[in-house]
Amino acid sequence: MGGEGGGGGGAGKAKTKAKPVLVSFMTVFVHADTADVVLMVLGLLGAIADGISMPVMLLTFSHAYNDLGHGADIVGSQQFSSKVNMNARNLVFLAAGLWVMAFLEGYCWARTAERQASRMRMRTRYLRAVLRQDMEYFDLKKGSTAEVITGVSNDTTVVQDVLSEKLPYFVMYAAMFAGSYAVGFAMLWKLMLPALPSVLLLIIPGFIYGSVVIGLARRTREQYTHAGAIAEQAISSVRIVYSFVAERTTMAQFSAALEESVRLGLKQGLAKGVAIGSNGIAFAILAFNVWYGSRLVMYHGYQGGTVFAVSFVIIRGGLALGSALSSLKYFSEASSAAERILEVIRRVPKIDSESDTGEELDNVAGEVEFRNVEFCYPSRPESPIFVSFSLRVPAGRTVALVGGSGSGKSTVIALLERFYDPSAGEVTIDGVDIRRLRLKWLRAQMGLVSQEPALFATSIRENILFGKEDATAEEVVAAAKAANAHNFISQLPQGYDTQVGERGVQMSGGQKQRIAIARAILKSPKILLLDEATSALDTESERIVQEALDMASMGRTTIVIAHRLSTIRNADIIVVMQSGEVMEPGPHDELIANENGLYSSLVRLQQTRD
């Protein structure tokens, strides 16, 4: 499947390259609904009107200047007063219309950008899509899961930024350029033609500022984000920093991360200076327009107000074109960002947790069996874990898996939880292949307690409720008592409402384990999976947690993975694994009696270390 996924990705890239630019950019709008379409149309009209307002204003000013220029001839007459009032009235109407259209441009685009971006944010469609994926997706994905989610959050920000700012500005500037030069040619084409080549020079300031300066500013923000990540990591792990006296090293890393932002800041300052300084080109072009326009006034009878307005129309239109062209690259970035998000949302995993297909058993006894299972992890297809693995766990019994690292113990739990599917053979519950069962129902029958329990930064009560969201307060307390956790929880000042801190940092190792056991018990699973649940604890905490585990295991099928062999002496069956094979199954007394067996050697080795 890994090969197929890689091939599919390559094909997808090839298709993306073949797409027309417009078709590719349309992926930015795939989250839009009818209301968003209405908002975008209104926003588009507002942006066009906003852009055209500049040449229209200059056109109105040209009439006003011309009338004022002839004022000496008709001063005191009703005609002069009427023309002045008409020009003033036109400017007021233009201001009112511009206010309305500019409001539509700003509000509609910002509103639809937030609406569309909210649908692709992690908390909605994207998080649902990520939680739907199988383990193969995360194994083959480059970077950590946190980095992947952060990357998509950044992609969402890029799309939102384009919808709320870059796209309306592009439309406005394009409309300003088209409107300016249309009005200019209509008013005085004899001035527009000789000034037309100056457009190439006017593009430079807008292009430098819009592309180079803003691009450097974005890279500078990214560097600040990197430096902030270093600081956040140090603060969240401040105990480790203190214990290793790593304050100086941390500060050195933080300073090194800021050095690149300083270098980019200097470049940004230089580019900004060049961009602003390049605006002087506009004055040089204006000087030419005024000089040439004066010839048109003196020898061809054109009016001064018209020459003035057209001269500025040329300048504003050229600068607008430069700003519009510099925005084009943002559309490409937004298209790529939207496609990356859609790639995850549209991906249908091989093991689909959202699928409602499959059987549900009426009564679950809890018998588990692995039959001639073959398996290798997708990230390591050349290294098989199981070749022909078989194991039977009787219903209601406790089976302990022991063996060295890499023997396949944790893979047993991964396959049983259906995080992965075997390439051959089958895993069954009560004789039914788990691939025939509905996935969410299957996982609901199992409770998992791992070596390092995952607690969320909320209260003890809410962490336990994660096992069963609709559980009553009495059920939560009963689960805590069964996990031997009620006593220490009751002694806390806020009891079950005590905050555990980020990743449970406010709790000790034994307390975290017992909260995790209570969470698993509240789920009332038919099958309990214990993945080295006591290996990281001290002797006293181990004893308390082991008592809780023994209580939790009563009446349930239990699979225990353990490194400390003293914790599994009472297991019904102990299975010694090596290189993905079952080497020695049997109870403790039977296995320890074989002095030359693997189990006996493991016990002696551990006793020697202790």
404-407 CB contacts, 8 Å cutoff, 24+ apart: 404/578, 406/579, 407/577, 407/578, 407/579, 407/580
CB 359 within 8 A of CB 146: no
Tokens of 489: 């929880």
pLDDT digits (tens, 9 = 90+) for 452-511: 777 887 888 888 888 777 788 888 888 888 777 888 888 888 888 888 877 677 787 778
CB 370 within 8 A of CB 388: no
Fold entry, domain 18-173+330-350: ABC transporter transmembrane region fold (1.20.1560)
φ and ψ of 423, to 5 deg: -75, -20
Looking only at Cα atoms, what is the longest distance across the chain? 125
Q: Where are the domains of the chain?
A: 18-173+330-350, 189-301, 368-608
CB 557 within 8 A of CB 397: yes
> Which segments of the chain have a pLDDT < 50?
1-23, 122-123, 143-144
Give, to the nearest 10 degrees, the angle between helix 328-346 and helix 145-161: 130
368-608 in CATH: which number? 3.40.50.300
Number of neighbouring beta carbons within 10 Å of residue 574 = 24
C-alpha pair distances (Å), 60 with each of 88, 95, 593: 9, 12, 105
403-406 CB contacts, 8 Å cutoff, 24+ apart: 403/576, 403/577, 403/578, 403/583, 403/598, 403/602, 404/578, 406/579
Structure confidence at residue 119 (pLDDT) = 63
Structure confidence at residue 428 (pLDDT) = 92
